[in-house]
Chains A and B, each alone.
Chain A
Amino acid sequence: MHIGSPCPAFDLPGTDGKRHTLAAMEGKKLLVLVVSCNHCPYVVAYEDRLVALSREYAPKGVMLVAINANDASRYPDDAMEPMIQRAKERGFDFPYLRDDSQSVARALGARFTPEVYVFDQERKLRYHGRIDDNHRDPAKVTAHDLKNALDALLAGEEPPVAETTAFGCSVKWK
């Protein structure tokens, strides 16, 4: 997916028992889709940072949504029930959705977990890539790429870097 591309429409079930659609998120200034999962150690390393980021930016009109598209037949930890458990354990205050058909992840062109897509109010892609440059240690992060993009877009400016290389586990395709 190229910068400027429209966000693919989606209608996916969440760990909260509800369905979540792109249309229902209208009005949010920015939409952050995080292609995520349960079992990937890189995602696990970022979970606290994602929760903190959601809490910090939600009052500013930013909606974070995590989407798990991994093949749950090969990776049972990525099925909905374990997702519900993980969302409770880690205190996710953002929707955690199951993309069982993998259609949304494919439309996004996702390769890794976590991989981040930031869409503006017109739902055009403005940032794509990694959360930051150090999954191992938050204290050693030198490039807060996602936060920098959000801050710039909220200020009406271009993200300083619009695309970075995402890294993590590969999406588990069917």
Chain B
Amino acid sequence: MKNDDGARERALARVRRFVASYVAKGKYTLYPEPEVVENVVQGLTDHLAATGKMYCPCAPLEDSKQKGHHMVCPCTPHHEDIARQGYCDCALFASHDFVAAERLRRGDKGE
């Protein structure tokens, strides 16, 4: 059990590093609801720990395995999804414009 916990902790750390580094590239930012983002991070961690790959948690795992790297985060469709709706289908990454519009809608001054 301890080994499993340790493996999951390592997977979680890897996912967090990946997410931070991807956002640091600057093209996209995080979806503007931290609870939603954390849920996706945990889902990616589940898949990484179970399969060795960060398959998107918002797609059926068996389908994703068949599609291979296309559904490994950052997945192939995420650019198109963000262009269409402002955020990827898992609601992990979002465009800066979408986040700004959401802050405006919620009356959030931005911290």
Contact = CB atoms under 8 A, between A and B. Distances in A.
Interface residues of B, number: 18
A173 B39 CA distance: 21
Interface stretch (A14-22, A38-46, A147-155): A38-46
A169 B89 contact: yes
24 contacts: A39-B59, A39-B60, A40-B58, A41-B57, A41-B58, A42-B58, A44-B60, A111-B91, A112-B36, A112-B91, A136-B46, A165-B33, A165-B35, A165-B36, A167-B35, A167-B39, A167-B91, A168-B58, A169-B90, A170-B58, A170-B81, A170-B85, A170-B87, A170-B90
Interface of B: 33, 35-36, 39, 46, 57-61, 81, 84-85, 87-91
Contact of A169 (B35, B58, B61, B85): B58
A75 B89 CA distance: 12
A172 interface: yes
Given A136-B46, A173-B84, A167 B36 contact: yes
Interface of A: 39-42, 44, 111-112, 136, 165, 167-170, 172-173
Nearest to A167: B39
Nearest to B84: A173
A160 B11 CA distance: 36
Given A39-B60, A136-B46, A169-B59, 18 more contacts: A39-B59, A40-B58, A41-B58, A41-B59, A44-B60, A111-B91, A112-B36, A167-B35, A167-B39, A168-B58, A169-B58, A170-B58, A170-B85, A170-B87, A170-B89, A170-B91, A173-B84, A173-B85
